Amino acid sequence: MKRILFALGATLALFVIAYFAWSTWQSGPTVEPGVISNARPTAGPTTEIPATTVPVATPDAATLPAVPSLAGASGLSGGVGGGGEGTAGSTLVFTNPLSGTQYTLNTTLPVEPASAVVYDASNPQRFTQKDAVRLAGLFGLTGPVYTEKFYQEPGSEWTPPIVYQLFDGSRQLAVGDMYFFYYDGAGLPNGVVDPLPFAQSGPIAEAFLQERGLLDFPYQMLSQNGFDVEFRRVVDGRPAIFPEIQVSVNAAGIVWNVSSNPLRAQTALGNYPLRSAGEAWQLLQEQGADFQQVFFTTRPGPDFVLPEPPAGDDLYRYWQREYQDGQIVTLCSYPIAYLPVNGDAAPRIIVEQYLLAGPADQLQALSGYAGKQIYLTGTFRSTDAGKVIELGNWEPMENVVEYTFREGTIARDASQTLLVVSESESYIIPDAPADLNHGEQVYVSGWIDAPAGSTTPSLFNWQGMGILVEEPEQPEILPVDSFIPYQIGQVTIDQVDLVYAVIGTYDESTQTTQFILSPAWRFKGTTDTNELIDIYVQAIPDELIAPPAP
């Protein structure tokens, strides 16, 4: 079996998601200082959020609306070891890592509070174009506001989302209806993530947000992976288990990513009675994690050892095609088009990871082919705005040329580099990487068929290339008797507190999501698998929990 490594390309959102997943595994022990701050910013808030107030206790619990279970809570289920599903023979096996776990309580259970307020955070307020301009000003971005033009099939009833975009060289701000995202490519030279440890990144991230007025609420600052910084809202003195703002800082101290999903104004639904911490502890011991009222998260502890990488991992190499300044570039791809909202600028066209530069009328014409395949040639330039192609000629493709992959062996001499697939099939590899060696086995991605204007039909217009490494074949089906589920045998709890879970429920009739801040008991401790564990037990009693949707 050959392992193939695919690049993520230029899609920024996918890259960031992958980065956070990667960093969680790479960072080692969790650093969680639990800094509580009520500091006020020096500039105005991002959104007007009224202060939460605690109403008087509700005398009759029967008058309180039922709240959803923790099943829809944000970020409450996951673990280093995975758990979940495995294949044993032809049977799907579900493993609950906390089934059969033995618990030790190494602290005193709190006796208060006996009640807590449940909040609805579903205010329909949305970010507007005006908000996008204001946020851009906080980050020092000026200029036209764009929205992406999406390709839609004729007759489609799909309504594209409106996301306002502003650009300034390597920096970008995207503002959706309920989130915003800031990115600075200068913080990732050559696309390499080089994070700063939390002891240094935390103060930098906090100062960065404070200077821009983005921390106008009580918050807890922490890190789940030892590098990236989370800011969680504190409601009635208790943290909401929801990363309202996440910040990434590189080793040079540059903030290269800020993502925010702000909680909206909280409306009190009532002061709810709670099951006690003792009752929650009893429920945990009796049923473990049921993924309805009891959830857990784990992360590497100080003594956790990541599994050894498979044999041959050190042999992997991957290249993205690089062009020299002034070089003629040929692409056969699908443009992404951003149109100025106020018509005060030319369209912004991206093909692959390259920004197109050219006459406004040509860019306008190109925007009409967003999501459709085109063939273009141009001149590559490396600028402060990033990788740019000065547009030469372009035309729409009448017959779609498929983006494809080929595996083969490199044949290299002083005059050219070939990918040899078989005796009858080989392709010229232009701009071959300098450290690509004769005889190496690779996979190559790009366009093979020569579009109109190409003079070399055998040319492989490649965009990515990686080394193929042979691995031992693995059986398609794992025998039942060899399936070893991920289990946590022992958990020692050394801290218990009350927190707020953020639960999202989707209403099909209105096609809207309701966000509820519901109290949960959090049991923090360590495991016999050298992990740190947080176990959440819903604090609302059974009679006030809404039944699951059919």
Question: For 301-315, what is the HEC assignment?
Answer: CCCCCCCCCCCCHHH
Closest listed residue to residue 351, CA positions, set 399, 401, 405, 387: 387
Task: Please say whether the beta carbons of 183 and 248 come within 8 A.
Answer: no
Q: Which residues fall within 8 angstroms of residue 6, CB to CB, at 6 or more apart? A: 445, 464
Task: Please say whether the beta carbons of 204 and 464 come within 8 A.
Answer: no
Where along the chain do its domains lie? 2-50+63-126+178-306+487-544, 401-470
- Provide the 3-class DSSP secondary structure of residue 185: helix
Q: Cα 83 vs. chain centroid, distance in angstroms?
A: 21
Q: Rounded distance, CA 375 to CA 220, Å?
A: 51
pLDDT recorded at residue 537 = 96
Strand spans (E) along 176-227: 180-184, 219-222
Strand spans (E) along 122-262: 146-149, 164-168, 171-175, 180-184, 219-222, 229-235, 238-241, 245-249, 255-260
Q: Cα 481 vs. chain centroid, distance in angstroms?
A: 36
* CA-to-CA separations, 411 to 3, 91, 116, 436, in angstroms, rounded: 21, 46, 71, 10
Q: Cα 142 vs. chain centroid, distance in angstroms?
A: 26
Bridge partners of 117, per DSSP, are 271
pLDDT recorded at residue 40 = 35
Q: Rounded distance, CA 521 to CA 516, Å?
A: 16
Task: Please say whether the beta carbons of 443 and 405 come within 8 A.
Answer: yes
pLDDT recorded at residue 236 = 94
Q: Which stretch of DSSP H or E encloses residue 13?
A: helix 12-26
| Token couple for 96 | 């609950």
Backbone region of residue 530 per phi and psi (left: phi > 0; alpha: psi in -120 to 50; beta: other values): left
Task: Please say whether the beta carbons of 116 and 278 come within 8 A.
Answer: no
The DSSP code sequence of 481-533 is GG-------EEEEEEEEEEEEEEEEEETTTTEEEEEEEEEEEEEEEETTSEEE
Task: Please say whether the beta carbons of 32 and 223 come within 8 A.
Answer: yes
Task: Please say whether the beta carbons of 363 and 349 come within 8 A.
Answer: yes
Q: Are strands 441-447 and 84-88 parallel, antiparallel or unpaired?
A: unpaired
Closest listed residue to residue 547, CA positions, set 172, 292, 307, 248: 292
Considering the segment(s) 401-470 as one domain, its CATH architecture is Beta Barrel (2.40)
Per-residue pLDDT of the chain (550 residues; tens, 9 = 90+): 333 333 333 334 333 433 333 333 333 334 444 444 444 333 333 333 334 444 445 546 678 999 999 987 876 755 544 433 433 344 445 567 888 899 999 999 999 999 999 999 886 568 999 999 999 999 999 999 999 999 888 888 888 889 999 999 889 999 998 899 999 988 887 777 889 999 999 999 999 999 999 999 999 999 988 899 999 999 999 999 999 999 999 999 999 999 999 887 789 999 999 999 999 999 999 888 888 899 999 888 887 776 665 555 567 889 999 999 999 999 999 999 999 999 999 999 999 989 999 999 999 999 999 999 999 999 999 987 789 999 999 999 888 888 899 999 999 998 999 999 998 889 999 999 999 999 999 999 998 865 445 555 578 999 999 999 776 565 555 555 555 677 899 999 999 999 999 998 877 776 677 889 999 999 999 999 888 999 999 999 999 998 876 6
Q: Tell me phi and psi for residue 478, to 5 degrees.
A: -85, 120
Q: Rounded distance, CA 400 to CA 423, Å?
A: 27
